[in-house]
Amino acid sequence: MKTVTLSTLRACKQAGDPFSCLTAYDATFARVASEAGIEVLLVGDSLGMVLQGHPSTLPVTLDEIRYHTRCVARSKGTSLLMADLPFMSNATTERLLTDAGELMRAGAEIIKVEGEAWMAEGIRELTRRGVPVCAHLGLTPQTVYQLGGYKVQGRDAQQAQRILEDARTLVEAGASMVLLECVPASLGREVSEALEVPVIGIGAGPDTDGQILVMHDVLGISQGRTPRFVKDFMAEADTIAAAFRRYHEDVKARRFPAQEHCF
Ligand code: KIV
């Protein structure tokens, strides 16, 4: 397979060809996922929950994301490597630039950052310096205590309009991609249609340009309540490689997410 770049993902969007993304935190799983055809690997701050056992992503540090980014970078194969800026990396523009620089040095090819329209200035400064950015909107897990839990966002018309406007603002500021988490499928479609850049969805319906899941959810080994948007692909596979391949193929064929995974 050819190396995946942002141009590849833009071409996928234009062709109406959905792409698959998966979290990865170490070299072995990164290799297996890349060999399965997964286009984008995310070193997500979800590692705080699935690797470290915390109840949220807030305790994760830049050093930890940097360590796991280095591990994944060594065997990411042809996949594009995205890394998450942890909680409070967006506290100031200066810190944002320094932290993003560290993750790019560790091997990231695009940085993901949570935040609404107010992130525009930071995204503009990152983009000016050659750092591609994916803007994470909708349910932003770093604000879970403010949101009062992991709840679907954008359910009412006003909230939905705000998410759409925030997405437009951040793309105008330079964001190369948008990630939408836990929003109604109708909003996932509207945002994807409105933006020129690829939109990745998790719990955002079948019409976003790409889909992402946490690796442990795909393997059916996450603890606690299973969110509606999750599918255990291991239930239909004999090996981890086969589960990843099935996830990738189901995204490509628009079999996943199905109606029962949507809000
Ligand atoms: O940290 C993460 O794994 C994420 C995904 C849930 C999109 O942000």
In sequence order, the 6+-apart residues with CB closer than 8 A to the CB of 18 are 12, 208, 209, 210, 211, 251, 252, 254
**Distance of alpha carbon 85 from alpha carbon 71, whole angstroms:** 16
Span from the CA of 157 to the centroid of ligand 1 (angstroms): 25
DSSP-assigned states of every residue in 6-32: HHHHHHHHHHT--EEEEE--SHHHHHH
- With contact defined as beta carbons under 8 Å apart, do 204 and 193 qualify? no
- Indicate which residue of 172, 181, 190, 236 is catalytic: 181
- Is the pTM higher than 0.95? yes
Task: Find out whether the beta carbon of 217 lies less than 6 Å from any atom of ligand 1.
Answer: no
44 CB under 6 A from ligand 1?
Answer: yes
Domains annotated for the chain, with CATH where assigned, are 6-261 (3.20.20.60)
Q: List, in order, residues 6 or more apart from 166 with CB less than 8 Å away.
A: 116, 117, 137
- The pLDDT tens digits for 158-215 are 999 999 999 999 999 999 999 999 999 999 999 999 999 999 999 999 999 999 999 9
**Whole-number percent of the chain with pLDDT over 70:** 100
214 C-alpha vs ligand 1 centroid, how far in Å?
7
Q: Is 82 in the pocket of ligand 1 (CB under 6 A)?
A: no
Q: Is 20 in the pocket of ligand 1 (CB under 6 A)?
A: no
Nearest CA to ligand 1 atom 2: 44
The CB density around residue 144, as the number of other CB atoms within 10 Å, is: 16
pLDDT at 1: 80
**Interval between CA 260 and ligand 1 midpoint (Å):** 21
Hey, what are 83's tokens? 């890394």
Ligand 1 touching residue 212 (CB < 6 A) = yes
Q: What is the pLDDT along the chain (263 residues), one digit of tens a residue?
A: 899 999 999 999 999 999 999 999 999 999 999 999 999 999 999 999 999 999 999 999 999 999 999 999 999 999 999 999 999 999 999 999 999 999 999 999 999 999 999 999 999 999 999 999 999 999 999 999 999 999 999 999 999 999 999 999 999 999 999 999 999 999 999 999 999 999 999 999 999 999 999 999 999 999 888 999 999 999 999 999 999 999 999 999 999 999 999 99
Q: How far is the CA of 144 from the centre of ligand 1 (A)?
A: 13
CA 189 – CA 74 distance, rounded (Å): 35
**Does 181 qualify as catalytic in the annotation?**
yes
> Which positions ≥6 away from 114 have C-beta within 8 Å?
85, 90, 136, 140, 141, 142, 143
